[in-house]
Chains A and B, each alone.
Chain A
Amino acid sequence: AQSVTQPDIHITVSEGASLELRCNYSYGATPYLFWYVQSPGQGLQLLLKYFSGDTLVQGIKGFEAEFKRSQSSFNLRKPSVHWSDAAEYFCAVGRGHFNAGGTSYGKLTFGQGTILTVHP
């Protein structure tokens, strides 16, 4: 079964500093990988996704992530953090799942989440 681990429960950075959030996955085949962000009181918003091709993926809000197959990792990075980036971040792995009717759809498994605090 697929699984996702986010080793850091809580990370604190200063505004303007660089950021890296870690994500490790376990999956037998080539994974589909995602990062979502949840601002306080909000639902989850998709930041970026990796399906295939270039292992460095650009997303919204200046975020990027790098897929490293040898390390089973998909870490999220941002060169300069803004106060508005304070939120909870979720890594997810997806795979095709066949329903009872035999049709495939995407099913996501999420990590535990990393809370990001930004100091002024």
Chain B
Amino acid sequence: DVKVTQSSRYLVKRTGEKVFLECVQDMDHENMFWYRQDPGLGLRLIYFSYDVKMKEKGDIPEGYSVSREKKERFSLILESASTNQTSMYLCASSLWTGDYGYTFGSGTRLTVV
């Protein structure tokens, strides 16, 4: 089975800190995604990557950046964390064309104080 691993389950950071959320998948998937999940809003796409060093903005990219230096790893970066970025962050991966069966990680619950 494909496994998507998010390095931290819970994270508490201070306002203004630079925060890195790491995601690793082990099945050579081309596509990787970062979502944030908030009650009543469902999942909203922040950024996605379809190849190494390739990325595209999702629906809510403001305040975030990403990095994909290796195929298996996709990092979400909060350049200067703010309290409104307190949320659950979910990473997902999928195969190339026509595959919509995303595999999700367990999530990182980030609290910015």
Residues from chain A with Cβ under 8 Å of B4 in the complex = 43
Which residues from B are CB-within-8-Å of A108?
Answer: 100, 102
Q: Give the CA-CA distance A41 to B10 in the complex, in Å.
A: 11
- Give the bracket for the number of chain A residues in contact with chain B: 20 to 34
Indicate with 1 or 0, residue by residue over B15-48, a CB within 8 angstroms of chain A CB atoms.
0000000000000001100010000111111001
B104 located at the interface, meaning its Cβ lies under 8 Å from any Cβ of chain A in the complex: yes
The smallest beta-carbon distance between A5 and chain B, in angstroms, is 10
Distance A69 CA – B92 CA, assembled complex (angstroms):
29
Contacts of A25 in B (CB 8 A): none
- In the complex, chain B residues whose CB is within 8 Å of the CB of A111: 42
Provided the pairs A43-B90, A99-B54, A100-B56 are in contact, do residues A49 and B100 lie with their beta carbons within 8 angstroms? yes
Report B58-109 residues with CB < 8 Å from chain A CB.
90, 92, 94, 96-102, 104-107
Contact indicator B102/A46 (Cβ below 8 Å): yes
- Among the listed A32, A41, A44, which residue makes an inter-chain contact with B104, where contact means beta carbons less than 8 Å apart? A44
CB of B74 to closest CB in A, whole Å: 14
Measured between beta carbons, the chain A residues less than 8 angstroms from B100 are: 32, 34, 49, 94, 106, 108
Q: Which residues of B contact A43 (CB under 8 A)?
A: 4, 90, 92, 104-107
Which of B44, B96, B101, B105 sits near A105, CB closer than 8 Å?
B96
Q: Are B98 and A104 in contact (CB under 8 A)?
A: yes
A90 in contact with B43 (CB, 8 Å): yes
A105 pairs with B50, CB closer than 8 A: yes
The CB with the most chain B CB atoms within 10 A, among A9, A46, A99, A103, is that of A99
User: Chain A residues near B41 (CB, 8 Å)?
Assistant: 112
Q: Which residue of B lies closest to A41 (CB)?
A: B106
Report if A110-B90 is in contact (Cβ < 8 Å); known contacts: A43-B107, A100-B54, A105-B97.
Answer: no
Contacts of B107 in A (CB 8 A): 42-43
How far is A7 from B104 in the complex, measured between Cα atoms in Å? 24
CA distance A49 to B92 in the complex (A): 17
Contact of A112 with B56 in the complex, beta carbons under 8 Å:
no
Q: Is A12 an interface residue (CB 8 A)?
A: no
Within A7-65, which residues are at the interface with B (CB < 8 Å)? 9, 32, 34, 36, 41-46, 49
Nearest-CB distance from B108 to chain A (Å)?
A: 11
